[in-house]
Structure 1
Amino acid sequence: MKECGQSRKDSTHPIASSSIKFLRIASWNVRTLYQAGKTAQLTTEMEHYRFYIFGVSEAHWIQSGQKTLGSGELILFSGREHNQHSEGVALVLGRYAQKSLRGWEPHDERIIMASFQTRSKNINMNIVQIYAPTNEAQDEEKDPFYDLLQEVVDNLPKKDINILMGDANAKIGRDNTGYDRIMGSHGLGEMNDNGERFANFCLFNKMVIGGSIFPHKRVHKATWVSPDNVTENQINHFCVSQRFRRSLNDVIVQRGADIGSDHCASRSKEIERKCQGNDTNLEEEEDVETHWSRVKSAFTATCEEVLGYQKKEYNEWISQKSFDLIERRRHLKEQVNSSRTRTSKEEKMEQYHLAAKEVKVSIKKDKESFTKTLAEKAEKAATAGHIKILYQTTKTLIGKYTMSEMPVKDAGGKAIFEKDAQAARWIEHFTRLLNRPPPTNPPEILEARRDLPINCDTPSHREIVDAIKELNQGKAAGPDLIPPEALKADVDTTATFLCPLFAKVWTSGKYPIDWKEGHLVKIPKKGDLSRCENSRGITLLSIPGKVFNRVLLNRIKAATDPKLRDEQAGFRSNRSTTDQIATLRLIVEQSLEWKSPLIVVFLDYEKAFDSSDRELLRKIMRNYGIPEKISIVVISF
């Protein structure tokens, strides 16, 4: 199954356990998510009714993948492979559901499956969201759908809680003769061809149709209402494994949920469960680790108290006016549902359709206004020379982002869908990449006769201050969750705080665990993203640890710079590789002017920094004359 989208190793990013008394699951045919503002409306309803998992039919998104929204929800989707925005299914997961997600599989534009960890370690909860062909569709379309659905269900462990939900386009009716083991007598209408197919499927797979076993009013059963508000059908269903029938507390239509669809959301209460997470405890070791724990706690506690946690900006382009119109449309739908007479219902329905049009027009204007504002912001940033703001604004304006995350392939090129197997594959890849064997025939590198005049005393207060000032803001924190802005808020106080810790690290030669660990994030490059080789690993390290390293670098730079070759321009002060680019350009221009042949060779060492041998690095440092104390501190980090 596809992994849940975390690009950092779980072992370095513990998730606290959180209990959920009842897991509210819902399913809805929204008619489309491929429309401006639809996703925002869906997540608003999801938050309003406190749904943890939301199944979507007719998402109309193409291809398959996953997307994390600014509000925190994770959308898993499966659609058509080509640019035809029709059908499509999706699962929208709240924060609690994301923590227990084990993996998921996109099958086609009508079927998607996701697996979740329950309180019991031996039992998972598997949810299959569907969008079945209509009753009028030909058998040539229905048969392949049910064949694939049967294949998906066959692969689900029988011991697990297996849930089948979505728009089945099937009327099962009230007569449960011959189906009493899997359905009750509280269905709606009369069984049609799709209903018979669906009931036989559930009977064969021992799945109970939840909407038929709980007594409710007619209005709380109908999942689809015709445009004239005359015809009502129950075609959206929620089914659960027969052995877990008693864990299903209720299935009912959520009539108040509104997204401008002629379908109603159906929801259920599920079994009591607990989101499982990793729990790692660091052992307190010696004085350095204890000292570091106090320093880290002081910074993180202060940041939480003073700053709190950053809230992500979500759908900033949708105005309050549009949200008010959406709320008005919701109230009109409630009035339609509560109308006593047909005349009153038709009148309210006409008002509802007008309100729906106003929502579309308002959201379209919001999008245009937002785009215009971004363009003006980008123009001002370009005029003022603010390149970072210009880049970020242009990126938002263009709207380019990776919608889907491809299933990773193993070394043999076979796709891996199981989450644990995918994690093992990434571990295998980065272990091989970052832990290269030592060279078989290392060159003999002699030590310098005399060490360079580099300070080997414990880091001073002044050095720490200078190192903190050189930190770049806006960088991600490491495992200790301390951002650079926290250190730069009061540089002198921070240096005073860190100075005793750095002295202990320097004299003992031992580092805090947080300094030696990092969050490994995979960044996609070009090419086939299902291959590990086409993703670049970025390690997010401790910011205080970087300050310590900066002190070392500043000591080394001044003494070693005169010994470096003139041809090296990168990683040197007052020089840049742009100097070499300018030189090469002059050579090319002169070659063209004099019509002389020119051969240019570009040599790039693959994974050069990732495959550096530590022992050779120490010998090279000693060859330059870097003192033994400094070289040992560097390679021991």
Structure 2
Amino acid sequence: MTLMVSKKKRSKVEIEKKTKWWKLKKEECCEDFRQKLRQALGGQVVLPDHWETTAEVIRVTGRKVLGVSSGRRKEDKETWWWNEEVQDSIQRKRLAKKKWDMDRTEESRQEYKELQRRVKREVSKAKQEAYDELYTRLDTREGQKDLYRLARQRDQDGKDVQQVRVIKDRDGRVLTCEESVQRRWKEYFEELMNEENEREKRVEGVTSVEQKVDKIRKDEVRKALKRMKSGKAVGPDDIPVEVWKCLGEAAVEFLTSLFNRVLESEKMPEEWRSSVLVPIFKNKDDVQSCSNYKGIKLMSHTMKLWERVVEARLRTVVEICEQQYGFMPRKSTTDAIFALRILMEKYRVRGSCTVCL
């Protein structure tokens, strides 16, 4: 009896192609981007006032200058240390191998063997240099962060929570269809974010104070831009904060003008209203339950910059009591809990009761 087993086709995972904005870390790439952007604007140094026009020019220039990712799924390979020289040598070796397979002459065989030995030496040298650079980097602060990030990524890969292909519905049934899984996520987050809570009654007899709001200044934008962290995932508009940092003073002038228009018109660009909601596993309990995930929104970096400018102004006029520990700089709820435990232990030793308000 002959048994035929058909090979199961692997489902193709499509990954969105992304602009390689991380290349702006290199000064030469940053300078090239500035020059090409200036050429795209017709030689102008000042960015256009219209947000949609400026955003589209930046995106197109970024794709042309920096390139885009392949869109293929990133695999865990042991060839991360390959450089351009090694890749070129390996390509020549492959071509020599094809030539030898076609004509089978002694000359082509010797050429292939020579390239094979040369590639082996180059691979060994490149691998050693890459590891030396890695070990040197681990002694720095950035290297320690990379090591922690790598360890965390390895731990997540072992739990198979990078791509949640199955999820349970509200009745506990496992959903495997992609459309059903997406509908369940939509249903869960809509319920979570639109939950109605009891509203407290407004305090009567309090009049609102209205006063003239000063225009946003360039120094406010500079401070907010300096506080923004680099290397964060971009929102749907595909313009990271690295772009504004790269453009320098031209970006400050454009953003100041843009933020003042938003302040006066009380309307923000439509692109800022869109965001991408990504479920992140909390590393506890059932991996197929929606309640064990927290939703992270990927929003426009420019809108976050606008929020930082507004938040900095509010901090100068809003008084917050000293007992507020959550969401405060240089404070933590852990400190408050620790202080409360110490007080309770001291009063317990004395035989006194503790009253918390």
Pick from 389, 400, 403 the counterpart of residue 143 of structure 2.
Answer: 389
Q: Which has the higher contact order (CA 8 A, sep 6+)?
A: 2
Cα offset for 1:466? 2.8
1:472 aligns with 2:229: yes
Pick from 174, 190, 200 the counterpart of residue 443 of structure 1.
Answer: 200
1:506–1:588: structure 2 CA closer, same or farther, 3 Å change rule?
Answer: same
Pick from 322, 325, 329 the counterpart of residue 566 of structure 1.
Answer: 322
Q: State the TM-score, normalizing by the size of structure 2.
A: 0.64
Who wins on radius of gyration, i.e. which is larger?
1
- Alpha-carbon separation, structure 2, partners of 1:444 and 1:427: 32
- Alpha-carbon separation, structure 2, partners of 1:423 and 1:435: 18
| Aligned pairs (5 A) from 1:167-246 | none
Cα offset for 1:524? 2.0
Secondary structure in structure 2 of the residue aligned to 1:464: helix
Matched positions, count: 297
Residues 483-503 of structure 1, C-alpha deviations (whole Å, 9 max, x = no match): 111112344322321333333
Cα offset for 1:462? 3.5
Which residue does the alignment assign to 2:176?
Answer: 417
Richer in strand (by share): 1
Paired residue type of 2:232: K
1:493–1:579: structure 2 CA closer, same or farther, 3 Å change rule?
Answer: farther
Q: State the TM-score, normalizing by the size of structure 1.
A: 0.39
Cα offset for 1:480? 1.3
1:316 aligns with 2:80: yes
- Alpha-carbon separation, structure 2, partners of 1:336 and 1:500: 65
Which residue does the alignment assign to 2:254?
Answer: 497
Cα offset for 1:539? 0.7
Cα offset for 1:448? 7.8
1:478·1:543 contact (CA, 8 Å) conserved in 2?
yes
1:375·1:397 contact (CA, 8 Å) conserved in 2?
no
1:377·1:393 contact (CA, 8 Å) conserved in 2?
no
Pick from 137, 143, 146 the counterpart of residue 377 of structure 1.
Answer: 137
Cα offset for 1:333? 8.1
Pick from 518, 521, 532 the counterpart of residue 275 of structure 2.
Answer: 518
Cα offset for 1:321? 5.9
1:409·1:415 contact (CA, 8 Å) conserved in 2?
yes
Paired residue type of 1:468: L
1:303·1:486 contact (CA, 8 Å) conserved in 2?
no
Listed as ranges, the gaps of 5+ residues in structure 1 are 1-55, 58-88, 100-289, 602-637
1:499–1:364: structure 2 CA closer, same or farther, 3 Å change rule?
Answer: closer
- Alpha-carbon separation, structure 1, partners of 2:91 and 2:247: 46
1:584–1:335: structure 2 CA closer, same or farther, 3 Å change rule?
Answer: farther
1:374–1:590: structure 2 CA closer, same or farther, 3 Å change rule?
Answer: farther
1:508–1:329: structure 2 CA closer, same or farther, 3 Å change rule?
Answer: closer
Residues 92-138 of structure 1, C-alpha deviations (whole Å, 9 max, x = no match): 8486xx68xxxxxxxxxxxxxxxxxxxxxxxxxxxxxxxxxxxxxxx
Which residue does the alignment assign to 1:39?
Answer: none
- Alpha-carbon separation, structure 2, partners of 1:485 and 1:448: 48
Which residue does the alignment assign to 1:294?
Answer: 53
2:86·2:126 contact (CA, 8 Å) conserved in 1?
no
Cα offset for 1:538? 0.8
1:91 aligns with 2:10: yes
1:302–1:497: structure 2 CA closer, same or farther, 3 Å change rule?
Answer: farther
| Aligned pairs (5 A) from 1:53-452 | 91=10, 93=12, 291-309=50-68, 315-318=79-82, 328=93, 335=100, 374-378=134-138, 380-381=139-140, 386=141, 388-396=142-150, 399-402=154-157, 404=160, 405-406=163-164, 407-437=166-196, 439=197, 441-446=198-203, 449=206
Cα offset for 1:445? 2.9
Secondary structure in structure 1 of the residue aligned to 2:168: coil
1:395–1:480: structure 2 CA closer, same or farther, 3 Å change rule?
Answer: closer
- Alpha-carbon separation, structure 1, partners of 2:147 and 2:334: 26
